[in-house]
Structure 1
Amino acid sequence: MPDARFLVVFDADSTLIRNEVIELIADEAGRGREVAAATEAAMRGEVDFAASLRSRVEQLAGVPLASFTRVLSRVEPTPGARELVEAIHRRGGVAAVVSGGFHEILDVVAPDLGIDVWRANRLVSSDAVLTGEVDGEIIDAAGKAAALREWAREHNVPTDRTIAIGDGANDLQMMDAAGLGVAFNAKPAVRRQADVVVGPVDLAQVIPLLP
């Protein structure tokens, strides 16, 4: 991969996009309220993320893949997302996303927003219906930090020229690994530990922080 001047790694849900995608999918199964409460606890860091994700995904069993069209129609990019990605590219940077969410959604949303590289969990399906399982190793806090380091190496970007942007407890290791950790639309624990806190829900506010 070509060298880059810097690397920006976004969380997806409630950061690059306004939604928590697992809640949108759970709505298709009539279980949105229960899954939303469990997601909130995971983002506050009250429960183990991987265990929480597996239990939440179990609630998605039986959702047909055809309903993902409806889910995608409800996904809203965060205000300023396109402007920030465009600014990253203008300045010679790479825009990346690592998510505890799902490739099934991110594979559509990320390229539309101009993201260069992304990584997320995958849902298992059988006969075009979700089984309620996650395929392979779950991308958790450690997985997010590992992705940031891997992409920095691939693009020959020093750690001090990396930026991580997130909102939940599972973003803290990634933010700690980065040269600059930005809390965006974030939970209190994340705001306390971040290098910078962005209050307005507008990703264009991050542009002045770019190298």
Structure 2
Amino acid sequence: MTSLVLTLVAQREATVLTPSTIALARDIVSGMGEATVLSAGEAVDIPCPATAWDRLPDLREALGTQQVDPILTSVEGRRKMLLVSDMDSTIVANETLDDMARLAGLGDKVAAITARSMNGELDFASSLNERVALLRGLPATLLEQAWADVTLNTGAVALVRTMKAHGARTALVSGGFTYFTARVGALCGFDEHHANTLHLSDDSATLTGTVEQPVLGPDTKLRLLNTLADSLKLPVSAALAIGDGANDLPMLGAAGLGLAFHAKPVVRHSIASQINHSSLRAALFAQGYPASAFVEG
């Protein structure tokens, strides 16, 4: 009995999804029926039984170095009505705090702490406070300079606007700073944004090296996911969460579809649904949206 859908998504700038790759995947997961094309050469759906979960590691191994992501979803409730997304290294290509530190000549020191935090080696709140403290007394213009370098990841706008066009609520939830989430949220069309507030001096000229407490970290992200679902009278199974770091793990594990996006090793080890090669377009394909239904910027 069909209960799952295997979505194959190719990194379209690097490769093409071939009939032989589709046939290989169908055989490994005991696919049923013909593949449905979501985007020619880029994405297909293959109906399959519940046992496909057990074969997913084998499929990833068989795909080898092919830049193709296999994502399994349940047939029931496949299109989600709530999106909760991380920002840094997810919606945007940047780590905005690291970018600020780099501009101040502190890049290596701060980036090393960020890497350990995102891989779950350090407590998130403590590591954020430690990193921000290093910026004390530096000019607040670092925020504007870092913003000038921010780049949206491919598919970010389409993900948000397509889900909104089909009735979903969208929230940007970041362990970063509201200075950036407000701007990124507006660019992509998010309904709301949540992040940490970076303190400035009384004349707003310099950074104080502190953030408003308590820090928005992994527990807050999970709480926001649950609160938003409750406010919409939705079960968390109707939510899509997406992120890359250890501070995203609680919300990724709780959501109906948690997607690890080009994630750190600790996240890939814990979250089965992964986008390792392709773009954020895969988050729409995984919900069954064909490319023809995407709402671009």
- TM-score by shorter chain over 0.5: yes
Q: Are positions 1:38 and 2:113 aligned together?
A: yes
| Letter of the 1:168 counterpart | G
CA contact (8 A) 1:28 1:63 kept: no
Alpha-carbon separation, structure 2, partners of 1:207 and 1:71: 29
Give the TM-score normalised by the residue count of structure 1.
Answer: 0.94
CA contact (8 A) 2:157 2:187 kept: no
Q: Are positions 1:197 and 2:274 aligned together?
A: yes
Alpha-carbon separation, structure 2, partners of 1:77 and 1:181: 20
Give the drift of 1:180: 1.4
In structure 2, the partner of 1:83 is 158
In structure 1, the partner of 2:225 is 148
| Letter of the 1:103 counterpart | T
Identity, in percent, stands at 39
Match for residue 21 of structure 1 among 74, 82, 96: 96
Q: Are positions 1:182 and 2:282 aligned together?
A: no
SS of residue in 1 equivalent to 2:274: strand
Give the drift of 1:90: 2.1
In structure 2, the partner of 1:107 is 182
SS of residue in 1 equivalent to 2:197: strand
Give the TM-score normalised by the residue count of structure 2.
Answer: 0.67
Where does the alignment leave 5 or more consecutive residues of structure 1 unmatched?
none
CA contact (8 A) 2:177 2:195 kept: yes
In structure 1, the partner of 2:250 is 173
Match for residue 134 of structure 1 among 211, 222, 234: 211
| Letter of the 1:60 counterpart | L
Alpha-carbon separation, structure 2, partners of 1:200 and 1:82: 18
| Letter of the 2:108 counterpart | R
In structure 1, the partner of 2:42 is none
Query: Going by fraction, where is helix more abundant, 1 or 2?
Result: 1
Alpha-carbon separation, structure 2, partners of 1:147 and 1:201: 27
| Letter of the 1:20 counterpart | E
Alpha-carbon separation, structure 1, partners of 2:240 and 2:133: 33
> Which of 1 and 2 has higher RCO (CA within 8 Å, sep 6+)?
1
Give the drift of 1:14: 0.3
How many residues were matched structurally?
207
| Letter of the 2:244 counterpart | D
Where does the alignment leave 5 or more consecutive residues of structure 2 unmatched?
1-79, 289-297
Match for residue 122 of structure 1 among 191, 197, 212: 197
Alpha-carbon separation, structure 2, partners of 1:87 and 1:130: 37
Give the drift of 1:89: 1.3
